[in-house]
Amino acid sequence: MGKVKVSLAGGSGYAGGELLRLLLYHPFVEIGQITSERHKGKPVSSVHPNLRKRCDATFCSLGELKPCDFLFLSLPHGESMNSFPKFSSLSEKIIDLSADFRLRDPAGYRKWYGVNHPHPDLLERFVYGIPELHREEIRRANYVSGAGCNATAVILALYPFFKHRLTIEDRTVVEVKNGSSEGGNSPGEASHHPERSGCVRSYKPTEHRHVAEMVQELRAGSDAPGKIHFPATSIDMVRGVLATCHVFPREEIGEKEIWKLYREEYGREPFIRIVKEREGIYRYPEPKLLSGTNFCDIGFEKDADSSRIVVIGAIDNLMKGAAGQALQSFNLMNGFEEKTGLEFPGLHPA
């Protein structure tokens, strides 16, 4: 099997660095160009020191990009949508890790991002990049949009309930705790060490942009109006997302039925693990165990005093929430084994 020549637009950020780390060890990838406007001409390893003696490339500018077999876009939100005609002229197959093509409805960009999408006709050509939901569409796609990290954790945790219409409308409440790398590598007041260290900071108790993706994917095919109540909290860790989801089913459902529901949906999924043990400190999903992996761990517990079911989802935001999931889609789009380059199991202790 021949190698695919892959270029990466926006390779100096955290997600871009993770993607490059994965691509370097992919047996069917030849690395082409890696761009960074801020670090043009500098060695890639000067920005990603974990790649010393593993990557001898230097960053180039976007204007220097040449045609390639496959192009990843890991640019700040807004840049891909404004420059997409140029990018599409360089490669027939593209995965965009930003939010620029995640929503199917152009009105969503006005509501959630405050912009009029410059290419609304392209939105339907992008497949939303969660393989567990859209695997066959991704196989046939030329364009895939990477899902948001918070959205990925929540969607995968709740999809079985929503797919089978088991929840009461407007009663799903999800609280996400996430690490500092979710904010990217551009420093600011919120990331300044004295302000960030030790924090448990509620930064988006309402109107988080990822809600648009959650509703789009979880409510797909439903005519009833739906809302997911979603606050987000920053905590003192670097990587990881932990989504605690409170679900209220329409009818009583037993624990064995919940097990069956998740086994039917995810039993053959290579990157989803159902975690529910009776004892031990890791009896529920824990982001710390997932650092560097493409796994999504999901657990649940039924409230003995009410109908409420608590579903817990955990991922590494830079992997299953960004670079890892993008590589999973890349494998599908190119006919490779889906797990190629993604089988690192994580570390313990970490």
**Confidence (pLDDT) at 225:** 55
**Token digits for 268?**
């053959």
Q: Which residues have a catalytic role annotated?
A: 149
**Confidence (pLDDT) at 220:** 80
User: What value does the mean pLDDT take over residues 3-11?
Assistant: 98
**Confidence (pLDDT) at 264:** 97
**Confidence (pLDDT) at 18:** 98
Per the DSSP assignment, residues forming a β-bridge with 151 are none
Q: What is the pLDDT of residues 53-85, one digit of tens each?
A: 999 999 999 999 999 999 999 999 999 999 999
Name all domains of the chain by residue range, CATH numbers in brackets.
Answer: 4-147+321-333 (3.40.50.720), 150-315 (3.30.360.10)
Q: What is the pLDDT of residues 138-160, one digit of tens each?
A: 999 999 999 999 999 999 999 99
**Confidence (pLDDT) at 196:** 86
Structure-token match 């599409």, residue found: 88
What Rg, from alpha-carbon coordinates, does the chain have?
A: 20
Q: What is the pLDDT of residues 172-230, one digit of tens each?
A: 999 999 999 988 888 888 888 898 889 999 988 898 999 999 999 998 866 655 689 99
**Confidence (pLDDT) at 222:** 66
Helix (H) or strand (E) holding 80: helix 79-90
Tell me which DSSP letter residue 191 carries. G
Sign, CA torsion 60/63/65/70: positive
**Confidence (pLDDT) at 190:** 84
**First vs last C-alpha separation in the chain:** 36
Look at the pTM and tell me if it is higher than 0.75. Answer: yes
Per the DSSP assignment, residues forming a β-bridge with 154 are none
**Confidence (pLDDT) at 32:** 98
Helix (H) or strand (E) holding 302: strand 296-302
